[in-house]
Every structure is written in structure tokens, then in C-alpha cells.
Amino acid sequence: MTNENFIELIDVTKKYKEFTLSNVSFVIPAGSIVGFIGENGAGKSTTMKSIVDLIKFDSGTINVFGKPLKDLTPSEREDIGVVLDEICLPEKLPIKLLQKVFANIFKNWSNEIFSSYLKKFGISEDKKISDLSKGMKAKLNLSIAFSHKSKLLILDEPMNGLDPVARDDVMEILTEFVKDKEHSVLISSHIISDLEKICNHIVIIHDGKIMINEDKKALLSLYDVFSCSTEDANKLDKENLIRIKTIGDSTEILTKKAVFIGENVKPATIEDIMIFMIRGKTL
């Protein structure tokens, strides 16, 4: 199991009138947390909805648990926990009734686990879904995903609306979730600093195409950010300079690691790398 890829995407393409998800390929190994990042409209949700069969892709291959997506049994589909940006439940439904609803849907549903997460997240079973704030609805979505004993979690912006303490709780839960190497997570978030803390692997998508698909530690070992004046930037040797951003008279440059030293140099974060690759200019 530890060498198994829970998900394999091979040249997945989906064409819309004004957007194309183009030849997307990456894998989610067992025991991993893969961060899936990019700006709004880059193709993250289209990719994730394709993986869980909510969108029919036009070409390519998606394998889940070692077999084509279309061949998954109902039991295998239940091993996938999904959290989308919006909660897809009747707003007037009392939370305490969710246990009965999901016990009839999922063979591995656990009322005990569900109640424990509600307690952890401070959600009252006596409330209706409509009574919850956006952040509390996000916590409810996560509680449901964890309560049918999923092996694989597909999480699209699960921390949207959560306060820093709640986000820290979620990161701790996800890290614990994959420790046994029998579970995996694909997670997107605009809070990239959170993903940098917990992910093993980073996939960056832009305009429907994969820009970076790399082990997180390896990616962070590649780049620095060097700051200087625009005038000085124009004098630099371009050989080891990757991307440049200029705001007024100030310039930041994504460079290969250890090209520059001193107080004007800092290690590039995942967020730095994404912004430079998408917004920066080549030299």
C-alpha cells in the first residue's frame, strides 16, 4: 500500500467555451498531503470535480485506488471524502439529523466520530445548517468528510472562513490522518502558508496548465528572493535569475539558491514561487 498512488491524472483535458483544462498530469501517493494551488479560475476546482466524477472530462485518464475512475465500486467511492467550497445540504436541516441521513448513505459512517468532531469544532447539534456562519459550515463539511472513515480526502478550499486557531486544528488533523501511510489528501487553499506547513508535494496550476509539480522540500531548496533597486537590477547577470517583479523603484527577483548573499536575500516561500511564476517577467 505504501507504494501505491491513490490518484493518477494523465493528460486530463476539459474544454469550455472560454477556458481549457489542458493535459493535467500529477499523482497523489499513499501517505501524502498534496497542495494544489493557483489563482482563481486557474482550474483547481475543475480538476478536483473531475476526480470525484462531478465533471466529465473530455480526454485523458484518471485512476483512483489503482483503477479507472469509471470502474470504482460504490464501496470504493465511499472511501473518498469530499469537501467543496460550498456546503451542499438543505439549509433548514437540523444538524442532529445528519447522523441519520449519512448513516443511511455511508456503510462506514460513525456517529461517534461525527459527534467528536462537532464537539472539537464547537458546533451545536441543536442548530440548523442555516444558523451556522461560513466558517462553521466549513467545519461541518470537514466533520462529515472525516466521519465515514475515508482513505482519500479531496478538499477544495476547506479552510475558507476559518479563524487561525481552527485552521491550526485542521492542519493537525490532516497531518495525523496521513501518518499511517494508508491515507492521502489533495487540498487546495489560498492560504499558501498553511499548505507549506503540512504538504509533502506542491502542484501549481495556471490558466489550466500545470506549471510546477514538485516535492515541497526540493522546491524550497531551489530558489531565493533578492531585493534591489530597479537600476541595480538592470546591471545584474541574467544567467541565474528566474523571474522579476518591479513596483515603482523597487525590484524583487526570483533567483537560483545561493546566487546572492546578504540582508537583501531571503529563502523563497511557496507563495513567492507561485506569484513569481505567474506574475513575474522572464529576464
Contact residues for 51 (Cβ-Cβ < 8 A; gap 6+): 7, 9, 62, 64, 69, 154, 186
pLDDT number for residue 2: 45
pLDDT number for residue 85: 67
Q: Return contacts of 194-199, CB within 8 angstroms, 24+ apart.
A: 194/159, 194/167, 195/35, 195/37, 195/270, 196/35, 196/220, 196/269, 196/270, 196/271, 197/171, 198/33, 198/35, 198/171, 198/174, 199/33, 199/34, 199/35
pTM for the predicted model, two decimal places: 0.91
pLDDT number for residue 26: 97
pLDDT number for residue 86: 65
pLDDT number for residue 137: 86
Q: CB-hemisphere CA count at 13 Å for 122?
A: 9
Residues facing 61 on adjacent strands: 10
Residues of the chain with pLDDT under 70: 1-3, 85-88
pLDDT number for residue 118: 92
Nearest to 192 by CA among 35, 30, 9, 4: 35
